[in-house]
Amino acid sequence: MADFNTIRTGVGARAAQIDEGLRAHMNKVYGTMSVGTLLTFLVAWAVGSSPQLLSIFRDPITLSPNILGWIVMFAPLIMVFAFGAAINRLSAAGAQLFFFAFAAVMGLSMSWIFVAFTGMSIAQVFLVTSIAFAGLSLYGYTTKRDISAWGSFLIMGVIGLIVASIINIFLGSPAIAFAVSILGVLIFAGLTAYDTQKIKIEYLAHAHHGDSEWLAKSAIMGALSLYLDFINMFMFLLQLFGNRE
């Protein structure tokens, strides 16, 4: 009986340790994501509020991108694929540095919003996005339902959004832009819940191994996933509800 109690106590202690580790892991994910988001908006505001800096990438009046502007526009997409390919060769510190560099480049690509939209509408949409993101991420973390089946459908939706957005750069159709924005909000709302549950499940699956380097890089990859969900949801909501200058 004593041996059974000892085993049960040990199992309980191990479960408590894993729960504590999960909370610390999620705190790191959300903390890294928050710093990256803050960096993005600081860079976007600094460039967007300066006609001299903005003119390096876009016409300050028409907001049409120049060659450097096109490069900056597509650089985040290229960096995401490069990050995924290089993550196994990077240290945790290198992965974190790459993430913050990515967040800064994303800020450059978003800088035009501070000219196209009023500051008040940007703040309002940011607040709405934050509330929606928090609720969706909380759902993904707490739900007992397995939503992993959403993944393939949502990823196909993202690919469709990218293709439609690129096509509409040349077509300039308001109807396509509106449809893309509606679908974009729905897809990234679903991804927020899906990615949160995925981060939790991956941690629980690897927590027993004690691989601190993998867990550190996993937290950064998780932060990148949620960061992209937040930024994209914000941009699509801004397109729908933002008041233009």
Share of the chain above pLDDT 90, in %: 58
At 71-115, the pLDDT tens digits run: 998 899 899 888 888 887 888 888 999 999 999 999 999 999 999
- CB-side neighbour CA atoms (13 Å) of 121: 16
**Cα separation of 212 and 92, whole Å?**
10
How many domains does the chain fold into? 1
| Alpha-carbon span 8 to 54, nearest angstrom | 63
The string of pLDDT tens digits covering residues 128-184 is 999 999 999 999 999 999 898 898 899 999 999 989 988 888 888 889 899 999 999
Q: Which residue range is the domain that position 101 belongs to? A: 2-241
55-81 per-position pLDDT tens digit: 998 987 888 889 998 999 889 989 988
Is residue 117 over pLDDT 50? yes
Q: Look-up: residue for tokens 């949409």?
A: 125
What pLDDT does residue 88 have?
78
What is the C-alpha separation between 73 and 75, in angstroms, rounded? Answer: 6
State in Å, rounded, how far the first CA of the chain is from the last one: 75
Percent of the chain clearing pLDDT 70 (strictly above): 90
